[in-house]
Structure 1
Amino acid sequence: MRILYVEDNPELREIVSMLLEGDGRTVTACATAEDALAHDAQEPFDLVMSDAGLPGISGTELARTLLAANPRRWIVLCSGYELGRYPLDWGPHVRTLLKPFEPEDLERLLDSIDTEMRASGGSARPTGP
């Protein structure tokens, strides 16, 4: 699974990036949604995990932009405050993760997404022309 992680706090970005690494997972980390869109445009990632509150384009705007292009995208929005139900209404592949979270919570979330990806035949990357 290719993961794009977006977090503006450098220390948190480094720590969580290490936690995201694992068997069958590679991580690209960046500080802004603008950088994330540039990385994703080269080859869409299987999962985009982003802080909800980023400077410039917010993580929620990033999620909406990616989902507008492909509603089957896997998105995880992380926030220090409860986001409520509205991100979940964006589609079946949107998840939220309340900060601070335990490494075990992150691992469980990644395992469940990986299981769902495999059950649906792979990533949510666009197919065809």
Structure 2
Amino acid sequence: MRILYVEDNPELRETIGMLMEGEGRMVVTCATAEEALELERDGRFDLLVTDVSLPGLSGTDLARQVLAADPGRWVVLCSGYDLGTHPAGWGPNVRTLMKPFELEDLEALLVQAQATLDAAAHAGR
């Protein structure tokens, strides 16, 4: 599973990026939504994990652009404030994580995304 993690805080970006790595997971990190869009153009990611509050283009705007291209894409929005149920209406695989979040909660979302992607790949054979 290819994961794109967008976080403007360098310490968080490095720490959480490393913690998301694991067997079958490749994590690419960047600091801005604009950088994430460039990386998206170079190759598709299975999962976008993004902070909502970013300099320049926000994480929610980034998510909307990614979902416009692929409504079924897995997106996890990380925010220090409650986003309510609104983002869930953007697509079937959009989730939110309240910051600070427990690593177990993030891991559960990664496992859920991987299982969904594996099932879709298996069904497509």
What's the TM-score bracket when you normalise by the shorter of the two chains? over 0.9
Displaced runs of 4+ in structure 1, greater than 3 A?
Answer: none
Cα drift, residue 47 of structure 1 = 0.5
Letter in 2 for 1:63: A
Superposition deviation, residue 88 in structure 1: 0.4
Once residues 93 and 41 of structure 2 are traced to their aligned partners in structure 1, the CA distance between those partners, rounded to angstroms, is 19
Structure 1: where are the runs of 5+ without partners? 123-129
Q: What's the TM-score, normalizing by structure 1? A: 0.91
Cα separation, 2, equivalents of 1:109 and 1:37: 22
Q: Secondary structure at the match of 2:83?
A: coil
- How far 1:103 sits from its partner (Å)? 1.4
Alignment of 1:5-84 (within 5 A): 5-84=5-84
Q: Between Structure 1 and Structure 2, which shows a larger proportion of helix residues?
A: 2
For residue 90 of structure 2, what is the amino acid of its counterpart? W
**Which residue in 2 is equivalent to 1:113?**
113
> In 2, Cα distance between the equivalents of 1:100 and 1:82?
12
Taking the aligned partners of 1:68 and 1:108, their CA distance within structure 2 comes to 25
Q: Deviations over 1:11-55 (max 9, x none)?
A: 110110011101100100000000000001011101011001111
Q: Which runs of 5+ in 2 are unaligned?
A: none
How well do the aligned residues superpose, as a CA RMSD in angstroms?
1.0
Distance apart, 1:72 and its partner CA:
1.5
Question: What TM-score does the superposition give when structure 2 sets the normalisation length?
Answer: 0.94
